[in-house]
């Protein structure tokens, strides 16, 4: 391998490694929240927002990071995102109050959204469409490592009462990524004056988008937990958020229909393609299923099976560790054959089957049984991670592939919020029904229920009744997610398969040469030398 090839891969791995910090942050904190809440003296509401504030900030500002990188360059903006994430991490690490913790989590979310969105956009800059499959598969491996080990590390640090290391552990990762990107990533970029850069922003559209998505996501996250779904605190912002999203869509469509060279946050031409629209629906459902399984399977192991947080993290490995090999397989086959619809069909079929099989989980499920039952959905989700993104990029004009890929992440994050919200509503309603008339003086909240469980021997009749009620409540979540996966499978048959050998078009192309003239090497020349 030539030195220039090494620089390509060093730049890529520096970008990819930054996602390890983001994946750690998404998975380590949840198991440690009870300990953090005890140390900081917070309420359950504050602990709830410690996890939610990150997801909200990350989702809402993803597209804004992309617009910033179009104007000021991907390299400068991803370095800025890393610094923002590091600042939030430090605030969380030194926090001695919930105010500082929530501020740090929000800042972390802003930076984390930039990291994941710019990673996707940089891959579209560095390689033509067909070769991106391998790169996305490698990034999926990084995410898998983080999501598989995050709960275990977080649970271990929480148990040792050293939860602040959940945040400090991210700083070396961010430092390595920052240095690697600063030294090895070189991109060509069109020279623009500051006024030209500022004109790239769609200011009214951006403000309307941020306001409407925030107003929509906040009640989605607190509905059924902090406030009831039927309460005005949930319904009013939810309706306003939906109206804001409709108004934003009308605004963007009006700009698109005028054919004037105005800045647009989201090119409306992307949604003119049926396959792309189906892909975004699939990405939303994918996020719903991923987070429902990640969140509620951990709850199942800790409540129904009475495992500790660390063991519950280990029990999640069959689903998380099976995803990475499948993503690699998709990358290799798509890069070799140029065909991707098979991965969508196989992925959704396995997810549908896997979620259906989870209804077999109960209080008496043996270890060997839940290992194989959980692995099926993990295989399917792994196939879908790269294939959904590639199918959308193949169906849109290549000069818009970067923003199209970022929208995949946005809709997946939206699905994550919806998945937790839908699952929580289903669980609360079903648990109330399952406990009614079966247990005297049944606790009114899940936390009281868990506390009561831990006070009883595992073979106590009351303990068994509570755990059976919990198990049946989880079953309904798996059935609903199975139905969503089945719908996505049917929709995937309507997607057209586009040619993967499309011409690489990007304003910011990876440079293999720092000197010797302004012309960057073409993607074909780059890949032939890597």
Q: Is residue 173 part of a domain?
A: yes
Domain boundary among 185, 217, 233: 185
**Among 521, 470, 95, 498, residue whose Cα is nearest residue 303:** 470
Question: Do 430 and 307 fall within a single domain?
Answer: yes
Q: Is residue 329 part of a domain?
A: yes
Distance CA 84, CA 189 (A): 24
Digitized pLDDT (tens) for each residue of the chain, 530 residues in all? 333 478 888 999 999 999 898 888 777 777 777 778 778 876 666 777 777 888 888 888 898 998 888 888 889 999 999 999 999 999 999 988 888 999 999 999 999 999 999 999 999 888 888 888 888 888 888 887 887 788 788 878 877 778 888 899 999 999 999 999 999 988 876 666 667 667 777 778 788 888 898 888 888 888 777 788 788 888 899 999 999 888 988 887 776 555 544 566 777 778 888 999 999 999 999 999 998 888 888 888 888 888 877 787 788 888 877 887 888 889 889 988 889 999 999 999 999 999 999 999 998 889 888 899 989 999 999 899 899 999 999 999 888 888 898 999 999 989 988 888 888 888 888 888 887 766 666 665 566 676 677 777 777 778 888 888 889 999 999 999 999 999 999 999 999 999 888 887 776 766 655 433 334 444 444 444 44
Give the DSSP per-residue string, 514-528: SSS-SPPPPHHHHHH
Q: Is residue 483 part of a domain?
A: yes
Question: Do 354 and 484 fall within a single domain?
Answer: yes
Helix/strand/coil for 451: helix
Q: Is residue 480 part of a domain?
A: yes
Residue 517's pLDDT is what? 37
Rg (CA), the chain: 23
**Among 104, 14, 4, residue whose Cα is nearest residue 51:** 104
Give the DSSP per-residue string, 225-285: TTB-TTSHHHHHHHHHHHHHHHHHHHHHHHHHHHT-----SS-GGGGGSHHHHHHHHHHHH
Distance CA 463, CA 454 (A): 9
- Helix intervals (H) in 308-400: 309-315, 317-321, 323-337, 341-357, 367-395
Q: Is residue 81 part of a domain?
A: yes
What are the percentages of helix, strand and coil residues in the chain, rounded to 5? 80, 0, 20
CB 157 within 8 A of CB 32: yes
β-bridge partners, 223: 227
Q: Is residue 332 part of a domain?
A: yes
Domain boundary among 138, 154, 185: 185
Question: Do 345 and 484 fall within a single domain?
Answer: yes
Question: Do 299 and 412 fall within a single domain?
Answer: yes
Residue 219's alpha-carbon distances to 167, 237, 418, 442, in angstroms, are: 28, 6, 10, 28
Question: Do 123 and 9 fall within a single domain?
Answer: yes
Domain boundary among 144, 162, 185: 185
Q: What burial class does residue 16 get, using C-beta atoms within 10 Å of its C-beta: 0-12 exposed, 13-18 middle, 19+ buried?
A: buried
CB 426 within 8 A of CB 477: yes
Q: What range does the domain containing 105 cover?
A: 1-185
This prediction has a pTM of 0.86
Residue 498's pLDDT is what? 92
Q: What is the CATH number of the domain that holds 49?
A: 1.20.1250.20
Q: How many C-beta neighbours within 10 Å does residue 50 have?
A: 25
What phi, psi does 98 have (nearest 5°)? -70, -25
Q: Is residue 58 part of a domain?
A: yes
Question: Do 457 and 311 fall within a single domain?
Answer: yes
Q: Is residue 422 part of a domain?
A: yes
Question: Do 177 and 297 fall within a single domain?
Answer: no
CB 223 within 8 A of CB 48: no
Count of the separate structural domains present in the chain: 2
Alpha carbons within 13 A on the beta-carbon side of 75 = 18
Residue 428's pLDDT is what? 82
């Amino acid at each position: 391998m030539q030195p220039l090839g090494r620089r390509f891969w060093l730049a890529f791995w520096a970008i990819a490694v930054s996602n390890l910090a983001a994946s750690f942050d998404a998975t380590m904190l949840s198991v440690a929240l009870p300990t953090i809440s005890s140390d900081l003296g917070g309420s359950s509401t504050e602990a709830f927002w410690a996890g939610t504030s990150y997801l909200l900030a990350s989702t809402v500002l993803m597209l804004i990071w992309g617009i910033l990188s179009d104007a000021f360059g991907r390299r400068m903006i991803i370095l800025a995102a890393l610094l923002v994430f590091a600042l939030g991490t430090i605030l969380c690490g030194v926090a001695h109050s919930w105010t500082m913790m929530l501020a740090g989590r929000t800042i972390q979310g802003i930076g984390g959204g930039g990291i994941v969105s710019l990673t996707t956009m940089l891959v579209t800059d560095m390689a033509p469409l067909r070769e991106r499959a391998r790169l996305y598969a490698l990034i999926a491996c990084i995410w898998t490592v983080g999501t598989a080990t995050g709960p275990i590390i977080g649970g271990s640090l929480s148990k040792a009462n050293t939860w602040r290391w959940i945040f400090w552990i991210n700083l070396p990762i961010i430092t390595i990524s920052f240095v690697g990107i600063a030294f090895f990533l070189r991109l060509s970029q069109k020279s623009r004056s500051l006024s030209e850069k500022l004109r790239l922003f769609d200011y009214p559209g951006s403000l309307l988008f941020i306001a409407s998505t925030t107003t929509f996501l906040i009640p989605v996250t607190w509905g059924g937990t902090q406030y009831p779904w039927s309460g005005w605190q949930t319904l009013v912002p939810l309706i306003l958020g939906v109206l804001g999203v409709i108004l934003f869509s009308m605004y963007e469509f009006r700009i698109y229909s005028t054919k004037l060279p105005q800045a647009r946050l989201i090119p409306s031409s992307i949604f003119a393609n049926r396959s792309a629209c189906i892909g975004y629906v699939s990405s939303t459902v994918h996020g719903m299923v991923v987070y429902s399984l990640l969140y509620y399977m951990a709850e199942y192991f800790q409540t129904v099976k009475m495992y500790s947080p660390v063991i519950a993290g280990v029990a999640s490995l069959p689903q998380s560790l099976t995803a990475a090999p499948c993503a690699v397989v998709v990358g290799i086959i798509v890069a070799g054959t140029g065909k991707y619809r098979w991965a969508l069909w196989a992925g959704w079929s396995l997810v549908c089957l896997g979620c259906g099989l989870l209804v077999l989980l109960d209080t008496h499920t043996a270890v060997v049984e839940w290992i194989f039952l959980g692995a099926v959905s993990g295989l399917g989700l792994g196939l879908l991670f790269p294939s959904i993104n590639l199918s959308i990029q193949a169906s849109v004009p290549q000069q818009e592939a970067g923003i199209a890929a970022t929208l995949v992440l946005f809709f997946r994050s939206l699905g994550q919020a919806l998945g937790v919200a839908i699952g929580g509503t289903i669980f609360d309603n079903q648990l109330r029904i399952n406990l009614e008339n079966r247990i005297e003086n049944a606790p009114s909240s899940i936390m009281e229920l868990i506390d009561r469980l831990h006070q009883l021997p595992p073979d106590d009749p009351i303990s068994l009744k509570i755990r059976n009620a919990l198990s049946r409540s989880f079953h309904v979540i798996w059935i609903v997610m199975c139905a969503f996966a089945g719908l996505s499978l049917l929709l995937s048959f309507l997607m057209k398969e586009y040619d993967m050998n499309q011409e690489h078009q990007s304003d910011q192309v990876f440079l293999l040469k720092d000197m010797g003239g302004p012309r960057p090497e073409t993607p074909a020349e780059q890949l032939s030398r890597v």
